A and B are shown apart, each in its own frame.
Chain A
Amino acid sequence: MDMLDATVTATAPSPPAVDDAALARAAADGDTRAYERIYRRHSPRLYALLWRLCGGNAARAEDVLQETFIQAWRKLPQFRFESALSTWLHRLAVNTALMELRATTFESLDIGESGMDLLAEMTDTPRCHATGMDLERALLTLPPRARAVLVLHDIEGWKHQEIAVELQMAVGSSKAQLHRARSLLRTRLGDAG
């Protein structure tokens, strides 16, 4: 089954006329049109992931998406096709997003009301009219690290071992964060209901 057959909010994609490998080879040779087609094909999936990892902060998610595709452009000549292009891009996007997460320590701040006002302005959570809105909104309120584990494990299907490597934590910590995230999510969904 094509991975794009999953729940989709964008226009339903038609089968790719040119496969990823051919586009990747052309892009690696400097063909920016081919690279744009790669972007059009893969960015919706990546942006959905990044948007969640960034807590619904569209500006941050856009920055990470941009950074991912710039890095991918640089690294494409070294891409050996040992994995699918989509998998490679997915890994690159997650790694880029998590670098930002690791650099962010706002989670632990206690800065009073004025600071919180500023942080609230920065968060800038956009409205969304998709189904499952309550769940989506509750997901965005989770602490960044717990949210990342939940998104990668429960939505993206990663194993704890993989998450532990990416987030530089023990496997047990990944499991604990997942448990924490699920508990918080259930609580918040209950509160919202």
Chain B
Amino acid sequence: MNIHDDDHDDALAQRLRGLPSERVAPAAVWQRIAAELEQTPRFQQAPAAPALNAAAPRRMQRRWPRYGAAAVIVALIAGAGVLWLPQQPPAAVAVEESSLQHQANTITYQYRQAMATLPQQDVAAELQPALRELDESAGSIRSAIAQSPDAAFLLGQLQRTYALRLELTRKGVNPTGLST
């Protein structure tokens, strides 16, 4: 880096420091936090399943409508008619499994059921690298959930990844595009 670059960097850094330092979050954020505080234990000990399970659905509810892609996964899964299949979802397993992991397992189960309805051997070859990448992403996110069972936002990541995987697979199977 030469002096000329340094001058540019200084000028740029000065402009960056001049960007607004505050931004007001929507009021709903505090409302959601306040609701969580009612249910949130103060220490990060392994909580009893019923307590966390009581809080978890509310967080899920607020996420579904806010992510367009999450809505896609709901639509696709519901459209495929695979919800509430009488097989055993990963529900009643693993006593020490965290609430987040439980939700992740449920989403993964539903995603796999939805994928099973799609003829994947017919997916266009040019999409395969992207699909593999998404599969790896989903795996990474699930590992992160296992390591950080309090990081609820990872659930949104997982939903978006599965939604994108489903959408791309669907478009790859039917290039004319079935989805909206």
Q: A residues near B, CB below 8 A?
A: 4, 6-10, 30, 32, 35-36, 39-40, 43-45, 47-48, 51, 58-67, 69-71, 73-77, 96, 99-100, 102-106, 108-112, 114-115, 118-119, 121-122, 124, 130, 132, 135-136, 139, 150, 154-155, 179, 182, 185-186
- Contact yes or no, A110 B43, CB < 8 A: no
- Contact yes or no, B16 A111, CB < 8 A: no
B63: chain A residues at CB < 8 Å are: 63
Question: What is the interface of chain B mostly: helix, strand, loop, or mixed?
Answer: helix
- Contact yes or no, B25 A62, CB < 8 A: yes
Nearest-neighbour CB distance to chain B for A79, whole angstroms, equals: 12
Complex A-B, nearest 10 residue pairs according to Cβ-Cβ distance, in ascending order: A111-B130, A44-B22, A48-B23, A9-B20, A47-B25, A63-B153, A103-B144, A154-B16, A6-B21, A10-B22
Interface segment out of the listed B78-86, B87-95, B109-117, B154-162: B154-162
B96 within 8 A of A: no
- From A7, A44, A186, B12 is in contact (CB under 8 Å) with A186
Contact A182 B12, CB 8 Å, known A48-B23, A66-B32:
yes
Q: Mark B105-134, 1 if CB is under 8 A from A, else 0.
A: 000000000000000000000110110011
Could you jot down 8 A-B contacts, CB within 8 Å? A66-B29, A100-B157, A111-B130, A121-B68, A132-B15, A132-B18, A135-B16, A139-B19
Question: What is the interface of chain A mostly: helix, strand, loop, or mixed?
Answer: helix
Q: B residues near A, CB below 8 A?
A: 1, 8-9, 12-13, 15-26, 28-30, 32-34, 36-37, 40-44, 63, 66-69, 72, 126-127, 129-130, 133-134, 136-137, 140-141, 144, 148, 150-154, 156-157, 160, 163-164, 167-168, 171, 177
Complex CA–CA separation, A69 to B8 (angstroms): 37
Complex CA–CA separation, A192 to B133 (angstroms): 32
- Contact yes or no, B9 A182, CB < 8 A: yes
- From B18, B36, B127, B168, A70 is in contact (CB under 8 Å) with B36
Residue of B with least CB distance to A8: B22
Complex CA–CA separation, A51 to B23 (angstroms): 8
Residue of A with least CB distance to B124: A112
- Contact yes or no, B144 A77, CB < 8 A: no
B126: chain A residues at CB < 8 Å are: 112
B144: chain A residues at CB < 8 Å are: 99, 102-103
Nearest-neighbour CB distance to chain B for A80, whole angstroms, equals: 15
Nearest-neighbour CB distance to chain B for A70, whole angstroms, equals: 5
B29: chain A residues at CB < 8 Å are: 43, 62, 65-66
Residue of B with least CB distance to A70: B36
B19: chain A residues at CB < 8 Å are: 7, 130, 132, 135-136, 139, 155
